[in-house]
């Protein structure tokens, strides 16, 4: 058995793990990355990401103002330093990673809240001193939908990047750095051994380290034995499973175009990848037990293609399919990331970024590195793994999220007669309230599921459980 000694082990080879290793090396620390370097990286969120740097366009009209202020503020800090971070990476790797500036957000009849969401997005941008310009949908390059867009919002301070090229550049830097060792395997065990952590790998290797950074996405906390997990005290993670695809399209797309969030997902979006290739994304289905080996199902692909063709460009129907990808986005119960030192002084987290992992990667890396090199500097950060989470009650959430549930049920492309959307919203809310308050097998199963994932994205699972259990 090979045994190594290092300053820091980074468990995970997605974007957050690689960015953290890159930052730690810049602070003169020896780093060992434990995670797949080759292979298809099944289920990894980084390689399935649209990689839009969406500072403002993730905002929704019904979001709590304090939450908007916190999240937008952190995303803006990350965005402000992104070009400088890419310059550092490009210099170190000799690989240019290009940003495509700007994102268009369009509103149409598919989303009953689109107009309010676009105004909330614009207000968030303007509040933080950034531009948000309303325009005619006819001014949006590459937009040719079947469903008529009624307005468009241009966000010049947002951007997009090719996550595959970004990961390749980080991989090249780490692989070439003499202070970085990369074990092309996975973590199997973590134990304390005196003043070190002993990290066992699936290939039989063992690494002794002063610090461990867990950056393995939705499966991060499952790497710890129960007794160590109790010391760490990390909040639970769930998976937002997303299906996306790459296609060669018969039209020009100079910059990303998206709809607002709806139906517990990030709306339809197409992102340019160069040479006539476009990324289409993305579905979002909560999973309490993610299966990284599960391939995309036809319903997910059909929803993706139908909504993008109807809402963004009808010529997508004649596009050439290149690849379909599945990624499991790590999400916490309060939707905020987990960056920094845990309840165990040698164990740190870099995960929970949900739909903003590409944007927040350098920010996460700096916060985690600060927690290692200056231990008390990040303990009060709002993304600290040691924070207290305020979680909603089921009754409150049902009342507030029933519209998203109806939006999801109508995919792909479904429509309801006038006035019936509100009727169905009220009916579903009343039915879920009634079932959850009962004592039947169905009610007990719903409450058990809710206890595992008390968040809006759980509502489709509750509806499914209510329909399946007899």
The pLDDT confidence band at residue 456, using thresholds 50, 70 and 90, is: confident
- 219: helix, strand or coil: helix
Q: What is the pLDDT at residue 197?
A: 95
- The rounded distance, in Å, linking the Cα atoms of 72 and 66 is 10
Residue-wise pLDDT for 247-292, tens only, equals 999 999 999 999 999 878 888 999 999 889 999 998 999 988 888 8
Confidence band of 132 (pLDDT split at 50, 70, 90): very high
Q: Give yes or no for residue 467 having a pLDDT over 80.
A: no
Instruction: Determine, yes or no, domain membership for 291.
Output: no
Higher pLDDT, 243 or 289: 243
- Residue pair 129/68 in contact by the 8 Å Cβ criterion: no
The Cα 269–Cα 77 span in angstroms is: 24
Q: What is the mean pLDDT of the chain?
A: 92
> How far is residue 159 from each of residues 56, 205, 277, 453, measured CA to CA in Å?
11, 40, 17, 32
**Domain range holding 463?**
394-468
Q: What percentage of the chain has pLDDT greater than the value 70?
A: 98
Query: Which residue blocks in 233-342 are alpha helix, DSSP H?
Result: 298-311
Can you give the pLDDT at residue 93?
94
43 φ/ψ angles, rounded to the nearest 5 degrees: 80, -5
Rg of the Cα atoms in the chain: 22
Locate 166 and state its tokens: 């970004």
Please report whether residue 283 resides in a domain.
Answer: no
Q: Which of 88-97, 142-151, 213-222, 317-326 comes out lowest in average pLDDT?
A: 213-222
Half-sphere exposure of 441 (CA within 13 A, CB side): 4
Band (pLDDT 50/70/90 cuts) for residue 394 is: confident
Does any domain span residue 433? yes
Q: 414: pLDDT confidence band, cut at 50, 70 and 90?
A: low
pLDDT category of residue 244 using cuts at 50, 70 and 90:
very high
Please tell me the predicted confidence (pLDDT) of residue 425.
84
If phi > 0 it is left, if psi is from -120 to 50 it is alpha, else beta; for residue 439 that is alpha
The answer to pTM > 0.85 is: yes
User: What is the rounded CA–CA span in Å between residue 200 and residue 438?
Assistant: 47
As a whole number, mean pLDDT of residues 294-318 equals 94
Domain total in the chain = 1
Q: Tell me if 375 is assigned to some domain.
A: no
What number is the average pLDDT over the span 399-414? 75
Instruction: Give residue 413's pLDDT.
Output: 66
Taking the mean position of all CA atoms in its chain, how far away is CA 259?
A: 17
Q: Is 106 contained in some domain?
A: no
DSSP-assigned states of every residue in 59-106: --TTS-HHHHHHHHHHHHHHHHTHHHHHHHHHHHHT-----EEEEEEE
Convert the pLDDT of each residue in 352-382 to its tens digit: 999 999 999 999 999 999 999 998 888 899 9
At residue 404, does pLDDT exceed 90?
Answer: no
- 415 domain-assigned: yes
185's CB contacts (< 8 A; 6+ apart) are 34, 35, 36, 201, 202, 203, 205
How is residue 204 written in tokens?
A: 């039989």
The string of pLDDT tens digits covering residues 323-356 is 999 999 999 999 999 999 999 999 999 999 999 9
| 393 CB neighbour count, 10 Å cutoff | 10
Any domain includes 56: no
Signed CA dihedral, 172, 178, 184, 187: sign only: negative
| pLDDT (mean) for 226-235 | 90
Is residue 124 scored above 90 in pLDDT?
Answer: yes
CA 415 from centre of chain: 28
Cβ atoms 182, 294 nearer than 8 A: no
Task: Please check whether residue 169 lies inside any domain of the structure.
Answer: no
């Amino acid at each position: 058995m090979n045994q190594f000694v290092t300053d820091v082990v980074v468990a995970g080879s997605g974007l957050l793990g690689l960015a953290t290793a890159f930052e730690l090396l810049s602070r003169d620390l020896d780093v060992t990355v434990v995670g797949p370097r080759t292979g298809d990286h099944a289920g990894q969120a980084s390689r399935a990401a649209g990689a839009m740097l969406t500072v403002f366009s993730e905002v929704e009209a019904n979001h709590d103002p304090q939450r908007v202020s916190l999240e937008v503020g952190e995303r803006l800090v990350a965005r402000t330093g992104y070009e400088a971070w890419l310059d550092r990476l490009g210099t170190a790797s000799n690989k240019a990673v290009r940003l495509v500036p700007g994102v268009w957000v369009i509103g149409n009849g598919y989303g009953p809240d689109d107009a309010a969401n676009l105004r909330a997005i614009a207000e968030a941008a303007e509040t933080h001193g950034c531009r948000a310009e309303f325009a005619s949908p006819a001014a949006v390059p590459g937009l040719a939908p079947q469903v008529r867009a009624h307005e468009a919002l241009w966000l010049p301070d947002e951007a997009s990047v090719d996550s595959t090229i970004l990961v390749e550049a980080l991989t090249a830097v780490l692989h070439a750095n003499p202070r970085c060792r990369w074990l092309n395997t996975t973590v199997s065990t973590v134990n304390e051994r005196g003043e070190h952590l002993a990290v066992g790998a699936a290939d039989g290797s063992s690494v002794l380290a002063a610090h461990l950074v867990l950056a393995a996405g939705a499966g991060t906390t499952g790497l710890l034995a129960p007794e160590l997990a109790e010391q760490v005290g990390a909040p639970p993670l769930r998976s937002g499973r997303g299906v996306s695809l790459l296609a060669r399209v018969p039209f020009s797309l100079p910059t990303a175009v998206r709809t607002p969030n709806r139906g517990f997902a990030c709306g339809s979006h197409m992102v340019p990848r160069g040479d006539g290739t476009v990324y289409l994304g993305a579905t979002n289905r909560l999973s309490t037990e993610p299966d990284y080996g599960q391939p995309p199902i036809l319903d997910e692909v059909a929803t993706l293609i139908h909504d993008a063709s109807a809402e963004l460009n009808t010529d997508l129907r004649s596009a050439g399919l290149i690849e379909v990808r599945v990624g499991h986005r790590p999400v916490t119960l309060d939707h905020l990331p987990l960056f920094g030192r845990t309840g165990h002084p040698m164990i740190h987290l870099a995960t929970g970024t949900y739909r903003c992992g590409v944007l927040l990667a350098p920010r996460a890396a700096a916060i985690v590195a600060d927690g290692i090199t200056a231990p008390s500097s990040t303990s009060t950060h709002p993304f600290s793994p040691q924070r207290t989470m305020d979680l909603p009650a089921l009754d409150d959430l049902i009342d507030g999220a029933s519209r998203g549930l109806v939006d999801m049920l109508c995919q792909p492309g479904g429509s309801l007669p006038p006035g019936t959307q509100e009727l169905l919203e009220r009916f579903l809310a009343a039915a879920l309230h009634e079932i959850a308050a009962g004592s039947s097998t169905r009610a007990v199963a719903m409450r058990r599921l809710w206890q595992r994932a008390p968040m809006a994205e759980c509502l489709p699972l509750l509806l499914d459980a209510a329909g399946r259990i007899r």
